[in-house]
Amino acid sequence: MPTKFKLNTGAEIPGIGFGTWQDEAAQEDAVTEALKAGYRHIDTARVYLTEKPVGKAIKKSGIPREELFITTKLWNNKHHPDDVAPALRQSLDDLAMEYVDLYLIHWPVAWKRGDELFPKRNGNMILEDIDIVDTYKAMEKLLSTGKVKAIGVSNFSKAEMERLLQNTSVVPAVHQMECHPWLQQREFTTWHRKKGIHVTHYSPFGNQNQFYGEKGSIGKLIDEPVLAEVGKQYNKSAPQVTLAWGITQGHSVLPKSKTPSRIQANLKGDFRLSPRDMEKIQYIDKKLRFNDSSGEFGREFFTDLEGK
Ligand SMILES: NC(=O)c1ccc[n+]([C@@H]2O[C@H](COP(=O)([O-])OP(=O)(O)OC[C@H]3O[C@@H](n4cnc5c(N)ncnc54)[C@H](OP(=O)(O)O)[C@@H]3O)[C@@H](O)[C@H]2O)c1
């Protein structure tokens, strides 16, 4: 049986989800392939421009909506409380769905209101003075409409999480963050467990995403010898071990691929590693973050976290 975890709402979230960032033109086929392979958890976002292809693939699949777990995210130009419900409406229209299972604040930064995804002046992002607490309170209001089953956040620092918990009434169901064996964030993820916030790993393969480019000559996370060595005992590959490393901690993981053989193989990363193997992987942590848009997005992120 595929692994599922319970959220603080009582709903279940599948351990393995399917990422859809990049390769927009390939996503309808990729999601179709993923659903055929058995994925039932799909991650998209307004800014990925993949809500439409995700919606089309789901419709084509004929899989009943209640068997799926769909996440999308509020983009930075829609943080004003008055813009949150209309932004969700646009996402639902593109997904051709009545509701999403999870709606996340994508980044803790507010940009100029409007429809421009990257509003810039002289090459810099135009910021808007909107408190993230107010944006989150507008997200809370969506719960009673039935159009979102759960709400959460992504890319928040510890201080931002604490401030949210102190000033709002719904504990986020999920925090989606970069996490993999080179950025393990053990203290931060343990903190989430204590607060009842489910952690989901994005970029679970570390620097496999081409968008992250080359950081010196460090090579690729999935070429770490210990991952292949651990995998041998389970008859699994290094990428499958990185997914299992997340699942074993009780976290969801979001591998992305447009390649049918990889889409199928990644689903088989749904298994558990022994405590001894988890310990071996603990030693390869480099506290290395690949997705940090600080500066470029108009402010500093992750200031109190590992990998800064
Ligand atoms: N909340 C956020 O801010 C945020 C940020 C980043 C990502 N995400 C979400 O998390 C998802 C996953 O993260 P990601 O896309 O950054 O990276 P990822 O899933 O760690 O890596 C994707 C890359 O790995 C390749 N790949 C997939 N399976 C492989 C395998 N078995 N062996 C070798 N290479 C493999 C893919 O190539 P091919 O596609 O060519 O097969 C692609 O280039 C995203 O798609 C998105 O949904 C969220």
pTM of the model: 0.98
Strand order in the sheet with 151-154: 18-19, 41-43, 69-74, 102-105, 151-154, 174-178, 198-202, 252-253
Residue pair 42/263 in contact (Cβ under 8 Å)? The answer is no
From the CB of 182, is ligand 1 less than 6 Å away?
A: no
> How remote is the CA of residue 258 from the centroid of ligand 1, in Å?
9
Q: Per the annotation, does 106 bind a ligand?
A: yes
Q: Give the C-alpha distances (Å, rounded to integers) separating 184 from 189, 191, 198, 227, 286.
A: 8, 13, 15, 14, 8
Nearest-CA residue for atom 17 of ligand 1? 203
* Paired sense of beta strands 151-154 and 102-105, if any: parallel
Q: What is the model's pLDDT at position 214?
A: 73
- CATH number, domain of 122, equals 3.20.20.100
Q: 83 in a domain, yes or no?
A: yes
From the CB of 27, is ligand 1 less than 6 Å away?
A: no
Q: 34 in a domain, yes or no?
A: yes
Q: 305 in a domain, yes or no?
A: no
Report how many domains make up the chain.
Answer: 1
Q: Please give the positions annotated as active site.
A: 48
Which atom of ligand 1 is nearest to 266's Cα? 31
Q: What is the model's pLDDT at position 216?
A: 67
Which atom of ligand 1 is nearest to 43's Cα? 47
The ranges of the chain with pLDDT < 50 are none
**35/51 Cα distance (integer angstroms):** 15
Q: 232 in a domain, yes or no?
A: yes
Residue pair 3/40 in contact (Cβ under 8 Å)? The answer is no
From the CB of 291, is ligand 1 less than 6 Å away?
A: yes
From the CB of 220, is ligand 1 less than 6 Å away?
A: no
Q: What is the model's pLDDT at position 213?
A: 82
Domain that holds residue 43: 4-282
Q: 298 in a domain, yes or no?
A: no
> What values do phi and psi take at 55, rounded to 5?
-60, -40
Closest by CA position to 115, among listed 142, 73, 153, 75 = 75
Each residue's pLDDT tens digit, 183-199: 999 999 999 999 999 99
Taking the CA atoms of residue 82, residue 83, residue 85 and residue 86 in that order, the dihedral angle to the nearest 10 degrees is 130
**Neighbouring residues of 166: CB distance < 8 A, sequence distance ≥ 6:** none
Q: 75 in a domain, yes or no?
A: yes
Q: 192 in a domain, yes or no?
A: yes
Each residue's pLDDT tens digit, 66-112: 999 999 999 999 999 999 999 999 999 999 999 999 999 999 999 99
Q: 272 in a domain, yes or no?
A: yes
Helices (H) and strands (E) in the chain, counts: 10, 12
Q: Give the C-alpha distances (Å, rounded to integers) separating 121 from 112, 124, 126.
A: 11, 5, 6
> How remote is the CA of residue 192 from the centroid of ligand 1, in Å?
23
